[in-house]
Chain A
Amino acid sequence: MEANVSFFLNGKKVSVKAPPAKSLLRVLREDLGVTSVKPGCEAGECGACSVLLDGQVVTSCLVMISQVEGKSVITVEGLEKDGELDPLQKAFVEEGATQCGYCTPGFIISAKALLNENPNPTDEEILEGVSGNICRCGAYPRIYNAIKKVVKKDGV
Chain B
Amino acid sequence: MAYEKVEVYSPRSLAEALELLSQKRELIKPVAGGTDIMVMLKDGVLKEKELLNLSFIPELSYIKESENRVLIGAATKYREIRRSPLINAYSPILIEAIRQIGSPQIQNLGTIGGNLGTASPAGDSIPPLYILNSRVKLQKLGSSREVQIDKFFLGPRKTVRESDELITEISIEKMDPGSYYFFEKLGLRSANAISIVSAAAILSLENNTVKYLRLSLGAVAPTVIRAVEAEELAKDKELNEELIDRIAKLAAESTKPITDIRGTAEYRKKATYGIIYEALYKIMKGYGKKVEYGFENTS
Question: B192 in the interface, Cβ–Cβ < 8 Å?
Answer: yes
Question: B61 in the interface, Cβ–Cβ < 8 Å?
Answer: no
Min CB distance A114 to B, Å, is 8
Chain B residue contacts of A56, Cβ below 8 A: 79, 108
CA distance A57 to B33 in the complex (A): 13
CA distance A3 to B8 in the complex (A): 9
- Cβ contact within 8 Å between A132 and B31: no
Chain B residue nearest to A53 (CB atoms) is: B108
Chain B residue contacts of A3, Cβ below 8 A: 8
Q: Binary interface profile of B, 172-193, with partner A (CB < 8 Å = 1, else 0)?
A: 0000000000000000001110
Chain A residue nearest to B194 (CB atoms) is: A45
Chain B residue contacts of A114, Cβ below 8 A: 104
Q: Binary interface profile of B, 13-32, with partner A (CB < 8 Å = 1, else 0)?
A: 00000000000000000010
Chain B residue contacts of A50, Cβ below 8 A: 105
Question: B229 in the interface, Cβ–Cβ < 8 Å?
Answer: no
Question: B163 in the interface, Cβ–Cβ < 8 Å?
Answer: no
CA distance A43 to B193 in the complex (A): 12
The segment from B38-46, B122-130, B245-253 found at the interface with A is B38-46
Question: A64 in the interface, Cβ–Cβ < 8 Å?
Answer: yes
- Cβ contact within 8 Å between A21 and B108: no
Chain A residue contacts of B6, Cβ below 8 A: 1, 19-21
Partner of B192, one of A22, A53, A58, A132: A132
- Cβ contact within 8 Å between B10 and A62: no
A62 in contact with B55 given A21-B3, A21-B8 (CB within 8 Å): no
CA distance A63 to B38 in the complex (A): 7
Chain A residue nearest to B41 (CB atoms) is: A21
- Cβ contact within 8 Å between B38 and A58: no
Min CB distance A31 to B, Å, is 13
Question: B4 in the interface, Cβ–Cβ < 8 Å?
Answer: yes
Chain A to chain B: the 3 pairs with minimum beta-carbon distance, closest first: A132-B103, A131-B191, A20-B8
